[in-house]
Structures are given as C-alpha cells and as structure tokens.
Amino acid sequence: MGTTLLINYVKKNELVRFRLSRYLTKEPLTKTEVLNSVLQDYQDYFLMVLDQASEYLQLVFGLEVKEVDPSEHTYILVPTLGLTLKEMLKDGQRLPKASLLVMVLCLITVEDNCSPAEEIWGALSRIGVCPGREHCIYGEPRELLTQVWVWEVYLEYQQVSDSDPARYVFLWGPRAYAETRKFKVLVYLDRVG
C-alpha cells in the first residue's frame, strides 16, 4: 500500500505540472498523452492520479478538469465557478489565482454577503496567505484583494461608516455577480467541505 501512495503522490505532482503547462498554452490534454508522458510504467494508476490531480488543481489553482471529448478522452482546464479571471504575470510566469478568489467569495457568502476584512485576513492567514507577505502563487494578497480584484470589480472593499479606528468589509463585486451565482458557491463549498 505504501508503494501505491508514493507512486500516486509523485505522478499526481508530475501530472499537475504537465497539465498547468498545457493550460498556460491553452492546449487540451488527452489520456494518451498522459499515459505516454507521465504514467509510462504506471498506466493502471490513470484514474487515481487523474482524480488526485484534479482535486489539487481545483483547490490550489481554482481550475476544474473537464472532459470535452469522451471518445478521445480529451481534457481541458476551466476556472472554477465559471469565473473569467485572467491570470496576472509574475516573474514571467502566469499562475492561476482563481482559487483564492473562490475562497474569498465563499467566505463572503457564508458571512451574510458582507465579510469583515479581519475575518478574511484571518482565514487566509491560516492557509499561509498573509497580508503584507509575498506568496509564491498569489503575490502580495492585500494588493491582490484590495486593488487588483477591486479594480477588476470582482470584489468591493468598503470602509464601515463611523468606525474608529477604520474597519473594512469585503463584498461581492458586480463582475462576480455577473460571472457566477451564490448557489454555485454553496454547491462548491459542499463539494470541497
């Protein structure tokens, strides 16, 4: 059993890297390519590795694996919840950041659609995404949430009136409402929770 877990872990990571490289070039991926490029000697592990890699891609990068041609077993990656979020460039690489946006939208939804900033920062800090500290995937989170995604109107960041010292809240922005639904967020929460 230990060997199976090790093979699965190593091959899952290889498939994630391979799949992300194809996503960044907007190319689909076939089962045959995975078997020939990643799982040459471990073809019996295909479904297990694909499931694990799919879960990882969704949780870490906010990307869902979709089979677009069942006869050819062709797969593409699409942003979770249908968000059209564009990846930002960081050191010459584009890494999907949709998973963080999905997490923030989930937190706002469960907080009655208006989440105190300190609640958002506390929840994100528990997963290693801390304001003021550069993250290897998301960059600087405070800038991403309060400037980039506010400018792209995925989020609203508002000062609570008459708060002294100043307190802020996050809300869904118009673009988030246009691209997804709160019901989808709740279904996603149920699926990953």
Quick: pLDDT tens for 124-142.
898 888 888 988 778 899 9
Peptide bond preceding 165 in cis form (omega within 30 of 0): yes
- The tokens describing 126, both together, are 């528990």
First and final C-alpha spacing in the chain: 26
Amino acid sitting at position 8: N
**pTM summary value:** 0.70
Q: What is the pLDDT of residues 65-86, one digit of tens each?
A: 888 999 989 998 887 777 776 6
Angle formed by the axes of helices 98-110 and 182-192, nearest 10°: 100
| Of 43-57, 90-104, 114-128, minimum mean pLDDT range | 90-104
Q: What is the DSSP string of 81-103?
A: GG--PPPPEETTEE---HHHHHH
Size of the chain, expressed as the number of residues it contains: 193
Query: Residue 41: pLDDT band by 50, 70, 90 thresholds?
Result: confident
Buried b (16+ CB within 10 A) or exposed e, 65-94: beeeeeeebbbbbebbbebebeeeeeeeee
pLDDT at residue 155 in the model = 96
| Closest to 86 in 3D by CA, of 146, 26, 169, 29 | 26
Q: What is the pLDDT of residues 110-125, one digit of tens each?
A: 888 999 999 999 998 9
pLDDT at residue 135 in the model = 86
- Asked if pLDDT for residue 89 goes beyond 50, the answer is no
CB 68 within 8 A of CB 74: yes
Residues 6+ apart with CB under 8 A from 4: 45
Ordered structural domains, the chain, with CATH: 2-80 (1.10.10.1200), 89-192 (1.10.10.1210)
Interatomic CA distance for residues 68 and 72, integer angstroms = 9
Q: What is the pLDDT of residues 133-188, one digit of tens each?
A: 988 778 899 999 999 999 999 999 999 999 889 999 999 999 999 988 888 888 87
